[in-house]
Structure 1
Amino acid sequence: MADRKLGLNTICTHVGEVEDTQFKGAISPIYMSTSYAYEDVEVKRYPRYFNTPNQEMLGKKIAALESTEVGMIFGSGMAAVSTTLLAFLNAGDHIVLQKTLYGGTFNLVEEEFSKMGIEYTFTSGLEQADFEAAIQDNTKVIYIETPSNPLMTVTNMQMVADLAKAKGIVTMIDNTFASPVNQNPADFGIDIMIHSATKYMGGHSDILAGAVACSEAHMDKIWNKAKNLGGSLSDFSVWMLERSLKTLVLRVKQQNKNAKKLAKWLDQNGHVKAVYYPGLKTHPDHALAKKQMRGYGGML
């Protein structure tokens, strides 16, 4: 579990760095090798196994940011989403997904799950009764996204976590649109956090990446599926993402301020029909967002 005594800026700057033991460089060296000598009979390093020095250490940083035991880096957000879902779903299983989701996730479910024999239900709304009505005897996963992409709906994470735990169901969240700066779903009982690291985490429009953070027990299942599906991230991109995360808190907090200021201005503009931003008091989910978020993000 991440040490919650560390501030987010400290985590972003110092946790999960590869130590340069030879030359004492100030930043992590890049391990571009695809072949490694055996340290012992247990450790087999290989980029597709998600365990190069850069991959492992960046996973520690992601875990610290999300206050979980472990983290893993993927080649894209959808690689993270698809691998994690398929790690917990087999033919004959059922998943409940909230009705407002990122289009890539929606397409994955709609276009691929039936071929695999995986059943799914999108909720009719975001209230507890909507999730309860969608659950079946064979439900294995509840998948949410808050704030959602692109309509910025807000889902009650504590409600979903409590409902799922009472029924032995695993919970997953796409935490991309909040980032760990603005909310930590693990604090509300959500089991698995997923990110498109291409967005806030990358921050410079030069990295395609994904990330997952959760317990060691859950990550064992995800890693097993990941090494078979092969969605790992190159070590140069891993290094680039580590660089980007050093300024994550500074960037996201400024984006929070900018978006809120712009949203307020647009909300008062007579030429604008509607503004979807959870930081606005006029947003239908504002009270819930205020309860479970530290900031409202840069998207509107």
Structure 2
Amino acid sequence: MKKGINTICTHVGEIEDEVYKGAISPLYMSTSYAYEDVDIKRYPRYFNTPNQEALCKKIAALENAEAALIFGSGMAAISTSLLAFLRAGDHIVLQNQIYGGTHNLILEEFDKYGIAYSFTRGMEVSDFEAEIQENTKVVYIETPSNPLLQLTDIRGIAEIAKRNNMVSMIDNTFASPVNQNPLDFGIDIVIHSATKYMGGHSDICAGAVASSGVYMERIFQLAKNLGGSLSDYTVWLLERSLKTMGLRVRAQNENAQKLAEYLSAHKDVARVYYPGLKDHPQHELAKSQMHGFGGMLSFELKHAKKTPEFQNALRLVKSSMSLAGVESTLLSPAKTSHALLSAEERLQQGISDGLIRFSVGIEETEDLIADLEQALRSISQGKKALPV
């Protein structure tokens, strides 16, 4: 019988403290281990120290995978996974709305390796099929997308990948394993920026990949050469943070839903992007492939030029890089996550300079709404922002 999400987060992958019988996993900081008369020759760059192994078991269990690896960053996880299955002469199809760092990796590096690529025009399965070539080896998606929260049909992508003998990969960061398990829909490889919901406290930088044993062995063979492993202290901190992920994410889901409804009804807000809203064009798809709608939303003000003024007026919600911490933050994708894209590329993806990406935390909903309300009032009436 499969354990519940909070039980997996709390108990799977624990290291038993056999010496002092402590309640949590002990931390093994050594970078040097014996190699004679041992079952496993441990070395940090080989992802097999005790804490690394334990954490990988937890992440695999969370994604219903056979195996997992933990990396030094989300981009290390993404780049290693892609390059493990692509070589000169191959081709990859990617959705047109993906994280700016991934987009930049493709544009700046893949030509050097002789790897061809195509970005879809839209997000429908047919848009992906239209880009498939004889040498296409990988199809790569990100759903919900960053930053417009658009959805891709996970099951549909998995099916076309299998029909065309391609490996399917997904960036599952925005959803987290709490809200979405792509392997259950036939996707081959799931990738996370573990910096985000897995870490959840804005103090850890890490990445994770989960898949079958066969695929993870292939990724490992490249990973050990690229050297993107994670320090054991950070591994230990991440294992600690994962224990509360189910509780945190569900609280963020609830807050985000209420805030999306509040913002969508506000006279000074032009548009809200959140799959939990009934008027979201892919709301039914979200219900079919997600357990919860997530803690991320984006919105645009009717007076887009006042966006910086609005952000400066906030007193509780921080303007800050990254996302998914227990504290609520927001940012301008044009200035941060998608700044590496040209203005034309951003507009092609529907990312305006006035777009605000909101990472909803676990604060009381009423306090967050009060902060947004006073900031919106201040730009509407030209009054000084009030303390919250």
**TM-score > 0.5 by shorter chain:** yes
Taking only the aligned residue pairs, the percentage that are identical comes to 70
AA partner of residue 52 (structure 1): T
Equivalent in 173, 183, 187 of residue 184 of structure 2? 187
Equivalent in 220, 227, 232 of residue 235 of structure 1? 232
1:124 aligns with 2:132: no
Structure 2 unaligned residues grouped into runs of 5+? 298-388
- CA deviation vs aligned residue, 1:143-172 (integer Å, no higher than 9, x gap): 000001111110000000001101110000
Structure 1 partner of 2:197: 200
Equivalent in 35, 39, 47 of residue 38 of structure 1? 35
Deviates more, 1:4-13 or 1:260-269: 4-13
Structure 1 partner of 2:146: 149
Equivalent in 159, 164, 167 of residue 167 of structure 1? 164
Once the two structures are TM-superposed, the CA of residue 126 in structure 1 deviates from its matched residue by: 1.3
Aligned residues between the structures: 297
> What pairs up with 1:8-27 in 2 under 5 angstroms?
8-27=5-24
Note the aligned Cα RMSD (angstroms). 1.0
- CA deviation vs aligned residue, 1:108-134 (integer Å, no higher than 9, x gap): 001100011110000111112211110
Q: 1:270 to 1:137 in 2, by over 3 A?
A: same
Structure 2 partner of 1:209: 206
Deviates more, 1:227-236 or 1:126-135: 126-135
Equivalent in 259, 268, 271 of residue 271 of structure 1? 268
Distance (Å, rounded) in 2 between the aligned partners of 1:110 and 1:34: 36
- CA deviation vs aligned residue, 1:241-272 (integer Å, no higher than 9, x gap): 00000000000000000000000000011111
Equivalent in 213, 218, 221 of residue 218 of structure 2? 221
Once the two structures are TM-superposed, the CA of residue 94 in structure 1 deviates from its matched residue by: 0.5
- CA deviation vs aligned residue, 1:44-69 (integer Å, no higher than 9, x gap): 21111000000011000000000010
TM-score with structure 1 setting the length? 0.97
Distance (Å, rounded) in 2 between the aligned partners of 1:276 and 1:116: 36
SS at match of 1:275: strand
SS at match of 1:202: coil
Q: 1:39 to 1:270 in 2, by over 3 A?
A: farther
Distance (Å, rounded) in 2 between the aligned partners of 1:286 and 1:277: 9
- CA deviation vs aligned residue, 1:183-220 (integer Å, no higher than 9, x gap): 10011000000000001000001100000000000001
Distance (Å, rounded) in 2 between the aligned partners of 1:87 and 1:105: 15
Structure 2 partner of 1:282: 279
Once the two structures are TM-superposed, the CA of residue 40 in structure 1 deviates from its matched residue by: 4.2
1:52 aligns with 2:49: yes
SS at match of 1:134: coil
SS at match of 1:143: strand
Distance (Å, rounded) in 1 between the aligned partners of 2:92 and 2:41: 34
Distance (Å, rounded) in 1 between the aligned partners of 2:278 and 2:36: 57
SS at match of 1:274: strand
1:75 aligns with 2:75: no
Higher relative contact order (CA 8 A, sep 6+): 1
Once the two structures are TM-superposed, the CA of residue 43 in structure 1 deviates from its matched residue by: 2.6
SS at match of 2:130: helix
Structure 1 unaligned residues grouped into runs of 5+? none
1:245 aligns with 2:246: no
Deviates more, 1:41-50 or 1:191-200: 41-50
Distance (Å, rounded) in 1 between the aligned partners of 2:182 and 2:37: 37
Report which of the two structures shows the higher radius of gyration computed on alpha carbons. Answer: 2
1:88 aligns with 2:93: no
